[in-house]
Amino acid sequence: MDFFEYYANLFGPRWEALQKALLGENKPKELQIENATPYFLDEASFFAANALGVLPGMDVLDMCAAPGGKTLVLANALKGEGSLQSNDRSPDRRERLRRVVMNSLPENFAKIVTVSGYPGERFGRFRPESFDKILVDAPCSSERHVMNSKEHLSMWSVGRIKRLAVEQGSLLASAVDALRPGGEILYSTCALSPEENDGVVRKILKKRKGLIEVLSIEPLFEGTEQTEFGLHMLPDLCDGRGPIFCAKLKKKA
Ligand SMILES: C[S@@+](CC[C@H](N)C(=O)[O-])C[C@H]1O[C@@H](n2cnc3c(N)ncnc32)[C@H](O)[C@@H]1O
């Protein structure tokens, strides 16, 4: 099955409009923190990072942070108090993340940010119960990006969705273990398929049974869809924003 057949089956008659919106303009938001260089990120991405509810003084982990748009939102919420570990496994993307942290944050906000390059799956084992808040903005199918690239389209397969869902599940399990009791996780992806979104949350609720609960998130944009465990913002209904799925989990105290 090819990419277009797969998503046409998934979305039915909606696919035509969604496909057009995915190829169309997105909705970037300018994020300028004090006098630092402005950074542009999708409004739905801004919303998701903000939904984690970070406050000054907290210890925060951004597990998959590059190129860094959401890290800026988290650092802006910390206001230079507490700590933010912005982690990404890819060396090239991590260099971009370093530049974004250096250029788009004022010095007093950047001083509490540490950039690291561990596989996210390791945090649970090596930093257990260490963070108040964790953002898991997981690697995903990124269909909006794939659709705009012949090279990526040729590499797409149903098997890739399944492999990504397994990886996303491992990252999320690691985040649960690295979280302090009472702490919260925001799981997000820019994937279209439920397998990488609600499906991953459903599995973690089984895998870490009794340890976590799902919190509700108040939607902001018209057209946001409520899913079994979170919110999905898709560009055909959200005026070009997204795609972003987000779900919030709390570790029981
Ligand atoms: C969706 S992107 C993150 C976007 C970023 N949060 C932002 O707002 O700019 C996913 C990132 O996860 C990183 N990644 C992939 N697998 C990883 C792993 N196992 N551990 C840590 N990072 C990983 C990729 O290099 C990529 O930069």
12-42 residues labelled b (16+ CB within 10 A) or e (exposed): eeebeebbebbeeebbbbebebeebeebebb
Q: Ligand 1 centre and the CA of 88: distance in Å?
A: 6
pLDDT > 90? residue 126 = yes
Check residue 116 and give its pLDDT: 98
- 177: pLDDT confidence band, cut at 50, 70 and 90? very high
pLDDT > 90? residue 1 = no
Check residue 83 and give its pLDDT: 98
**Between 15-23 and 3-11, two packed helices, what is the crossing angle to 10 degrees?**
130
Q: What token pair was written down for 145?
A: 């990006």
Q: pTM higher than 0.95 for the full model?
A: yes
- 115: pLDDT confidence band, cut at 50, 70 and 90? very high
- Bridge-based pairing of strands 59-62 and 131-137 is parallel
Check residue 133 and give its pLDDT: 99
- Which of these, 62, 80, 64, 71, lies nearest to 31 by C-alpha position? 71
- 27: pLDDT confidence band, cut at 50, 70 and 90? confident
Which residue has the CA at smallest separation from atom 12 of ligand 1?
64
Instruction: Report, as an integer, the average pLDDT of 33-51.
Output: 97
pLDDT digit string (tens) for 75-90?
999 999 999 999 999 9
**Residue indicated by tokens 């700590």:** 83
Q: Ligand 1 centre and the CA of 243: distance in Å?
A: 16
When divided into structural domains, the chain yields a total of: 1
Check residue 24 and give its pLDDT: 94
Name the residue range of residue 105's domain: 3-251
Q: Which atom of ligand 1 is nearest to the CA of 142?
A: 1
243 lines ligand 1 (CB under 6 A): no
Check residue 100 and give its pLDDT: 98
Which residue has the CA at smallest separation from atom 27 of ligand 1?
66
Average pLDDT score over the chain: 97
Q: Residue 31: which CATH number?
A: 3.40.50.150
- Bridge-based pairing of strands 231-233 and 225-226 is antiparallel
Mutation pick for ligand 1 pocket among 88, 168, 188 (CB with most ligand atoms within 8 Å)? 88
pLDDT > 90? residue 19 = yes
93 lines ligand 1 (CB under 6 A): yes
- 166: pLDDT confidence band, cut at 50, 70 and 90? very high
70 lines ligand 1 (CB under 6 A): yes
- Bridge-based pairing of strands 244-251 and 212-215 is antiparallel
Residue 247, CA distances (Å) to 2, 30, 162 in order: 29, 24, 19
31 lines ligand 1 (CB under 6 A): no
Catalytic residues: 190
Q: Ligand 1 centre and the CA of 231: distance in Å?
A: 20
42 lines ligand 1 (CB under 6 A): no
Q: Ligand 1 centre and the CA of 119: distance in Å?
A: 10
Tell me the H-state helices in 24-157.
Answer: 43-50, 69-78, 91-104, 107-110, 123-126, 143-147, 150-155
Q: Which atom of ligand 1 is nearest to the CA of 88?
A: 22
pLDDT digit string (tens) for 208-248?
999 999 999 999 999 999 999 999 999 999 999 999 999 99
Give the CA angle between residues 165, 169, 174 to the nearest 5°. Answer: 150
d(CA 20, CA 17): 5
